[in-house]
Structure 1
């Protein structure tokens, strides 16, 4: 029996694009602006310059558009940037790519009608993998993103807001994830739903205070999307790595920030485990999930791992429906956006570096497919014959239709998607009077519910069939002037902030499932380290060279070698692997067993290969011990210093007792 498109939808054939649509934005003109990683598909993955192109859904034609540059004419690569639409329909793009983990400090605007780019003042630092979202007052928040700083690749802790003339900082936040999943709430604050397990809310008024918003039970879930399916209601969909299988989860969680006591709660699970998937709001308020991989690796493309079947979540029934399958793997670096005709463009995938080598050519997809959801096969389609040139917040407007009776009028904000993030998409169901002909429609009350910008207006029939959209600007009060703000030394998040004491410094070896290492992929690890017993302080920047982090204990003793690995895994799942700890202990040597006396005794032994913490990120293995490190214990035995001695090395449990491996030592006496 042939598949029924009224139940499963239908995919159009695969068609070619000029480049991999890693970044895609639906413009007010109805065209899609997209760009990939490199201008020359045969050249370096880290070349500068960018070759954006336009695709016209109405004709299928693609055309090149102008290329972005800095004010001095230098080319920029907009790969791995964040983007969101201004109220006037121009696309703001912030950050970009120098090399993996090292971002650009550039920002620019794309004018859909002129087809040109305007450089903006530079950001405070480079941002690679930042998120951007339009605020209720029309300003744009840019948050997170990593950059090179000497040998390290820290994440920029200070979010910035573009107010139309300059960038203004908010309070900093330690442990930001890359591409934070952010959503503007009806009270104008910004929810950061992930990928960290603890979720937080940023108040963008004044200096920008942070408050806790609860913890997702599924823990750290990288490369899983979140969607605000109604104002203030957010769902987080899959992603991450389960602690046992390392596979992503199919589980979903939702939160209603408009309730009296908001809390994350389970939502129905998807039929498939997914990571690197996209989630797209549709005109009827349902959420379409496409692509992703179900395998244990970061971007697992082994046969059977990529998920081709689409799924649809209905918030009204909290249920999932499995839909038709697309032909192409749409995993890492794929994008998906809602088109004005109520279909969905699913595109891209590939163009990544793994272990120092480019991905296989067959895993790079300079192509796309268009999905026709089931609602397009359930009866005659309405047509909007007339709509206003603009919609004014708090007012009424008329929409004229032809065709079947109308049951609903909805607004969907234009999409701007990349790396599973589409922070700006927003769905609103509007009040209306009439069921056909001329509809009297009430606009949203304020920009807090509906940030200014361009939206698609859909009329939906009694059978649930949406019309092709009319794209209109939603306007309201002018953006409020930004309050002067200042960056403060102490992070603005008071929750779980512990007093820093002069306790033992502990180095922790962590291997990130993310291929870019601990520096850029830091947020989930930082959050997990904060929750370890007896940790008073986490150094805000990890060691990118050795792939280690440093924490300070609340006391002068040793860390909990039994509890820490389990506690860390509970918060981070298998997005990070706990390789062990290293400490420096100072005391005096005791003859016989060569223990170190420092408020008790700690047995010493030679450092053994496989216990050292330093990690070779490119080769994905521990760095070899040097001759000096292997010989450290022998030299200490021969020297037998009588005064104070400091011993540094891995701390291990041997038959239930902490034992310190001597990797290096120093003496203070003769």
Structure 2
């Protein structure tokens, strides 16, 4: 009997414990205080490795995988995205035309999703490189003719070593300046990646040399040639692409737009107050972090323009946000992935008028900003931003529980401590809710969840001028770390997706499995009785205008918010914001005043939400805010 009890009692106690836990977390008082998580399993045929997520104006969510960090899918061009409708749980696979894995994305003012950059080549680790390779700067000294350099062009070193380019390139004409005393010609150049024709160490060239292009006649060889970096068998990083596409949420189709001026992998696309989009950072076409080259996308022409006046170095996926001043951005210091420890790591206000960056001091753990998150806290009019969690550069085991807040309206802004997370956290999912609280969920203590370090907890951050406070939220069931994202849905719930652990066990011996389940969080306000209703509202409002919103109990409405439809990837969501609206009673509803300043409410699609005197929000009504800006396409 003792043996039988010893064998059977622990499982029985475990069952009772789980039963009691399930009963607790599904009780109404618990959900009213902490909310609830529900796991969503999509059909096996519709599962993707969600790398990017975007809420579309139709209310559907687009989850983009591309190759999904799977080199075999990259090789076969089995590139995927999933369109998921949270209203009924339906889903549909949509192929993507290029590998958007680790590109940048944001919604344009007309509702299209812009995706730029992605993967042109997967990394090759030390020991896996069989052909010496490196960067080749192709120079053109002819001021009259652009020179094509097709993939497969051979470059020959003085010693006869041969290397082939891997992708097509076009070298512009040289720059020619004519003066009264003559003319000055400055060679143009593009950089391409080249690989040795012959495998093995015999093709290693440690020197920087001038290379001839095979097959060119002597007169052309004088004008067109290569300047090669050292050609080695060292690790080769991912390489970016310059391709860009838009996704139409109505037709649910992709369209190619103009190519970027630079290839980018891990770039940030920040929507500007005039409707254009700022592209910063990323790995270029040879796997190196771009040296500060910045460019602007104009949705009216679907073209990109390099902004040499805004050249500024940032590590990859920098957290760059617009502020209340049209010519100023705020760089939070948060990044993901690549860049040295001593360059581009200091948070600051970036003045676009003169390209200066004024550091913002006071941040705790300033060396633990990689894989951190950043967001506006409270309405954007408050100009308070928080930096949350983060870790050391690269595969560092170090992480921080920091939540630090800065008031950008302060004449001398500096970070001040807020409440700490319950544990040091990389990769926190951060989503602003319509009641002005912020959901912080998931993440891991170590790099990519090493050592089974995923956090199965969540907190609700309540912003305030004194730094704010945290309350406990229900615990998610699914662990999430690298390649994870979170989005606010129109019904007030939060969708989380993705996770790409390095290992699946505590001892780091079993290769990781990409998490394809979705999980949806229902905040406490969804369990506190009837919600306010929006029975009628305009589909479009102008900045500076007043909109009439029909609601059955206008006397209960206390606040109104516009929440911008957001995108999310790599713990980066620079287009997420909440805008406070002045609200007052009106016939059969309320009148809401839309702010005049585009710096506060840039044109685009938002969810209009009414919040009652209990802090319970209505469902979001998706509408477009319009105004006069350069990027408008209609």
Q: TM-score, normalization: structure 1?
A: 0.65
Please report how far the alpha carbon of residue 292 of structure 1 lies from its aligned counterpart in structure 2 after TM superposition: 0.5
Please report how far the alpha carbon of residue 155 of structure 1 lies from its aligned counterpart in structure 2 after TM superposition: 2.5
Selected match of 1:212 from 359, 373, 381:
359
Distance (Å, rounded) in 1 between the aligned partners of 2:499 and 2:393: 23
Distance 1:439 1:361, change over 3 A: farther
Distance 1:360 1:276, change over 3 A: farther
Distance (Å, rounded) in 1 between the aligned partners of 2:350 and 2:509: 37
Distance (Å, rounded) in 2 between the aligned partners of 1:449 and 1:457: 15
Distance 1:39 1:214, change over 3 A: closer
Selected match of 1:313 from 454, 461, 465:
461
| Structure-to-structure mapping, 1:207-606, within 5 angstroms | 208-214=355-361, 216-220=363-367, 221-229=369-377, 230-231=379-380, 232-241=383-392, 246-295=397-446, 298-303=447-452, 305-316=453-464, 318-350=468-500, 363-402=513-552, 405-434=556-585, 437-479=588-630
Please report how far the alpha carbon of residue 175 of structure 1 lies from its aligned counterpart in structure 2 after TM superposition: 4.0
Distance (Å, rounded) in 2 between the aligned partners of 1:400 and 1:419: 39
Tell me the secondary structure at the aligned position of residue 375 of structure 1. Answer: helix
Q: Is the 8 A contact 2:52 2:63 kept in 1?
A: yes
Other-structure match for 2:99: 77
Q: Is the 8 A contact 1:84 1:416 kept in 2?
A: yes
Distance 1:441 1:128, change over 3 A: same
Distance (Å, rounded) in 2 between the aligned partners of 1:34 and 1:156: 30
Other-structure match for 1:22: 51
**1:106 maps to 2:243:** yes
Distance (Å, rounded) in 1 between the aligned partners of 2:375 and 2:364: 17
Please report how far the alpha carbon of residue 25 of structure 1 lies from its aligned counterpart in structure 2 after TM superposition: 0.2
Q: Is the 8 A contact 2:261 2:305 kept in 1?
A: no
- In the comparison of the two structures, how many residue pairs are matched? 464
Distance 1:46 1:290, change over 3 A: farther
Selected match of 1:162 from 288, 297, 301:
297
Q: Give unpaired runs (5+ residues) of structure 1.
A: 69-75, 482-670
Please report how far the alpha carbon of residue 242 of structure 1 lies from its aligned counterpart in structure 2 after TM superposition: 10
Distance (Å, rounded) in 2 between the aligned partners of 1:39 and 1:387: 39
Other-structure match for 1:185: 323
**1:124 maps to 2:275:** no
Other-structure match for 1:144: 281
Distance (Å, rounded) in 2 between the aligned partners of 1:359 and 1:87: 47
Q: Is the 8 A contact 2:66 2:81 kept in 1?
A: no
Please report how far the alpha carbon of residue 200 of structure 1 lies from its aligned counterpart in structure 2 after TM superposition: 2.7
Q: Give unpaired runs (5+ residues) of structure 2.
A: 1-19, 124-237, 335-343
Distance 1:446 1:322, change over 3 A: same
**1:38 maps to 2:67:** yes
Please report how far the alpha carbon of residue 120 of structure 1 lies from its aligned counterpart in structure 2 after TM superposition: 1.7
Q: Is the 8 A contact 1:378 1:464 kept in 2?
A: no
Please report how far the alpha carbon of residue 289 of structure 1 lies from its aligned counterpart in structure 2 after TM superposition: 0.9
Please report how far the alpha carbon of residue 390 of structure 1 lies from its aligned counterpart in structure 2 after TM superposition: 0.7
Other-structure match for 2:35: 9
* Superimposed CA distance per residue, residues 439-469 of structure 1 (whole angstroms, 9 cap, x where no aligned partner): 0110012211111100000111111111111
* Superimposed CA distance per residue, residues 568-589 of structure 1 (whole angstroms, 9 cap, x where no aligned partner): xxxxxxxxxxxxxxxxxxxxxx
Distance (Å, rounded) in 2 between the aligned partners of 1:270 and 1:51: 35
Distance (Å, rounded) in 2 between the aligned partners of 1:410 and 1:367: 31
Q: TM-score, normalization: structure 2?
A: 0.69
- Give me the CA root mean square deviation: 2.7
Distance 1:407 1:12, change over 3 A: same
Distance (Å, rounded) in 2 between the aligned partners of 1:202 and 1:48: 39
* Superimposed CA distance per residue, residues 240-286 of structure 1 (whole angstroms, 9 cap, x where no aligned partner): 1399x943100111111112221122122112211012111111111
Q: Is the 8 A contact 2:266 2:316 kept in 1?
A: yes
Q: Is the 8 A contact 1:350 1:359 kept in 2?
A: no
* Superimposed CA distance per residue, residues 404-433 of structure 1 (whole angstroms, 9 cap, x where no aligned partner): 821111111001000000110011111100
